[in-house]
Chains A and B, each alone.
Chain A
Amino acid sequence: MSEKHNYDPASLPDLLPVYYKRLFPYGPYFRWLHYGGVPKTYFLNREFSFTLKDDVYIRYQSFVDQSDLEKEIQKHCPYKIDIGAVFSYKPKERKTIKASAFQAQEKELVFDIDMTDYDDVRKCCSGADICEKCWPLMKIACKIIHAALVDDFGFKHILWVYSGRRGVHCWVCDEEARKLSQTGRTAIAEYLSLVRGGENQTKKVSLDETLHPSIRRALNIIEGYFDKYSVKKQDFLDSPEQWDKVLALIPIEDVRKQINGLFDSLGTNSSTRLTILREQLNNAKEYKKMKMTMEEIMVQLCYPRLDVNVSKGVNHLLKSPFCVHPKTGRVCVPFDVSKVDSFNPFTVPTISQLLDEIDNCEITDTTKKVKDFKKTSLAASIEVFEKFLKNLEESWKGKLLEQSDMKMEF
């Protein structure tokens, strides 16, 4: 990244108006949330909320159409836009109706995976920081969740978005997903959760010998990454403090002690120690009691950790795609999950970079018709978004026909 693209959070108030004026992809964005007008009130009754400068938070915004949305966003230049549920009435007019009649009815099924939740299993960073050493965790998470959503639940319209800082969001937009009740969302989130227990539980995973097909599949995905990630990236058996955390997951004390000894005497680095660990677990006398221990270790270290509360509520807000993260300046861009391995969060464009790019273009390019965002490095992300939209639009073409047939409009 060249020097001049360096993003300075203090400049955000100056940059946002230009971003929202020239770069935010209102067209595709509206086409998404309008859902082809099936039903007609879908966009009208959708809650948006804005976070303005100094954390001023306005909830229950709603808009009548694309130009209204455009106008309001440009007027407020929000630091953050959240998308909420589709309500029974226009959220803006909620005060004019009885509170009990104003109900959240539908929303995309969403998932929020945040690197902070992995703090106990990554040694490179903590909290909001990420680096290339822990990022593979997100790749694993995307693949596992995506496979389950498609293969197990039969969902087709899934949008993956980089959150701009330390994690990823997933928007499942199929009609069946949007109509799910809270219980339905909870069930799916629980189905996808394997790592359980808080600060007071060391061993957070226990697996049955007969693995559920979905866990088997997840393990296959993890296995594809495990050695490279744990040894090369995390160097997870590098020192006694490191390996103690892993050995604590072995249920039988004698085995634990023995492996600990071997780590000291024979092990030279994480790679050799991983081999020792595998061999010892396989050959131990007590093997019967530890058949799944290696798998449990892998799951505890690598399996996706969802913020389930975000997924459970129909009414839960989630940051919208194409927002700018105020701290990093990076845009929340959609990415192609089938290419998640080559997605690099550190090359996601920042708002300052994008604005530089349009400025440069203006000098060289005089053809006016081209949309501004197409001249920038945002173009690739918008292409991903367009592809998602195209598939989504196919799904309601049939629906619209059905509707017009019912009204006898030919």
Chain B
Amino acid sequence: MDIRTRVKSHKRKKVDGAEQYPHVLQFYSVPPTETISLQEFEEFAVERLKVLKACETAGIKHIRGTEAYNDLLHKEIRKTKLRNILKTSGKENLTEEDIYGRKLDHISHFILRLAYCRSEELRRWFLQQELDLFRYRFQNESIQGSEEFLILNNLDYTPIPSEEKEKISGELAYSISSGHVSTADFFKVYFTDALDLVKSRKVYLKGGYAYVVRDDLISILLSVYRAKLSKALSQTSRALPHLEEDDRLLPMLCGLSKRYLGQDYTNKKPSAGQITADMIEVLSKKSFPLCMQHLHQVLKREHHLKHGGRMQYGLFLKGIGMSLEEALKFWKTEFIKLIDGDKFDKQYAYNIRHNYGKEGKRADYTPYSCMKIIMSNAPGPGDSHGCPFRHTDAEMLKQKLRTNGLSKDAIEEVMTTTKRGHFQLACSKYFEYIHGGVTGDGDVPNFQHPNQYFEESQKRLNGDKGLSQSTPKTPKVVRRVPANSQTTPSQSKSQSTAQTQNSNFGELDDDFMMTEEEMGLLDQKVTN
């Protein structure tokens, strides 16, 4: 097959590179080898970043796959230099421009891989946007174009024969939203090829095989792409420290990745030790986001938290600057009201030290971001963790807001936002009401991280400059590179180089995978 394709494309070959890019879509399996100038390097990266940013914005504003979503994405991508990726396949004769577009797509993807592989949070963001982009582009393809792509990537499945279909038509009817089983194409794949569909129970399973309807093939395709990309990102991040490089690329890459994401609240060494156990009670009332405040209250009331709660709350406390010693003291004080100290030391102290990278594989764990709290590890019976805007009954949430002193109108507004599925926005609105409305410059924070909430809150309460003056024990916000940095690479060079060396490569995880559900972003209709 390999040979045949090559011969074929030789015959057709009119333009250099047609062979390298047989389809407008690709899984980006092979890194580019061209030489490009430093200027181009940055330019390509910035352009792709614009595209990914557009994916994010479209995903927040509209439900994916809707017309509004597609229109917005189309409009935004057209404005960038990557506009060629909007083209679909199916053209017989490729022009130089077509090939150039594909090359740009290829190179820019790989540059951002370098920039966004360095922490779980970054990888998560990059992966999500890239997958959304891929989905959008794939769905624009004609049936023929998409089939060609499947064949090129050895993913050509054949539909099951109609006799087989008839036998289980009752069960198959479940997987199609409209139309009739007899007119739909079903593909039989081993269930491990369709894990997203299995996970969300969108597919009929029998004897280990999933019966996937044609419309859902994209899901299989995306999981293949996700698995590839996720693995590649892990590998890249491990290779990055060994990159022999003369201080020109890395600083720029760091700057790039900071552009659209806040900091990840790892390695906040300078602030460690400034928050003590006895300060928490007061701080929890003033500056904790609702999720952490809730965990704190449960801990006080029950003298216990289940594992999910201990992780979410414990890492948050670490993130605001509580040292290991203080953390042990803090948890022990509560837990020993129920169990004896000896049991605490044996059962729980290990985990706390583990969180601080003092046990096991000695990874320094990152505080959970809002995305992680909302999307992964939803609370089960007996659990208290999660996001109050996502995982709490409306009535109970209202009550909580009332207790915290929100006015009726304010509660109404927060609740409406919550009902629409904008959980982080609801949290930001809550923040505004708690902190006495929008500040002069109209800067409404859009929270991505509970620790960001805490720092914003401290900033508001203590004044911008006076973080460490008014409350000496509050951690200093150490931004290694300013978020939304507008500095050029050369300007921020010294600063960000230092950061790269500090960066934490220990927490990288081969199993880092995002699921369809997690990709579903907050704006998707969240049932349940």
Contacts and interface: CB of A to CB of B under 8 A. Distances in A.
A186 interface: yes
Interface in B154-207: 171, 173-174, 191-192, 195-196, 198-201, 204-207
Nearest to B343: A55
Interface residues of B, number: 47
Given A182-B511, A183-B513, A201-B393, A152 B199 contact: no
Interface string B59-71: 0000000000000
A198 interface: yes
A197 B391 contact: yes
B378 interface: yes
Interface in B363-396: 377-386, 388, 391-393, 396
A145 interface: no
A120 B206 CA distance: 33
Contacts of A118: 381
A248 to B, nearest CB: 10
B381 A191 contact: no
Contacts, number: 120
Contact of B361 (A55, A99, A151, A193): A99
A3 interface: no
Contact of B380 (A154, A182, A198): A198
A153 B194 CA distance: 12
Of A151, A195, A213, the most chain B CB neighbours within 10 A belong to A213
Contacts of A214: 201, 205
A191 B199 contact: yes
B37 interface: no
A221 interface: no
A206 B528 contact: yes
A152 B206 contact: yes
Nearest to B379: A198
Given A184-B192, A213-B174, A203 B382 contact: no
Given A200-B396, A201-B391, A116 B208 contact: no
B527 interface: yes
Nearest to A213: B171
Contacts of B174: 210-213
Contact of A187 (B198, B298, B397): B198
A244 to B, nearest CB: 14
Interface string A178-218: 00111110111011010111111111101000111111000
A56 B405 CA distance: 49
A176 B209 CA distance: 12
A99 B380 CA distance: 33
Contacts of A116: 382
B198 A191 contact: yes
A73 interface: no
Nearest to B396: A200
Given A151-B206, A154-B208, A183-B515, A188 B198 contact: yes
A167 B199 CA distance: 25
A99 to B, nearest CB: 6
Of B380, B393, B528, the most chain A CB neighbours within 10 A belong to B380
Of B198, B204, B347, the most chain A CB neighbours within 10 A belong to B198
B307 interface: yes
Given A180-B192, A199-B298, 20 more contacts: A117-B380, A117-B381, A119-B381, A153-B208, A154-B206, A176-B208, A183-B511, A183-B513, A187-B199, A191-B201, A191-B205, A195-B381, A197-B380, A198-B381, A199-B382, A200-B388, A200-B392, A200-B396, A201-B392, A309-B377
7 contacts: A151-B206, A155-B208, A181-B192, A182-B513, A197-B528, A200-B386, A308-B380
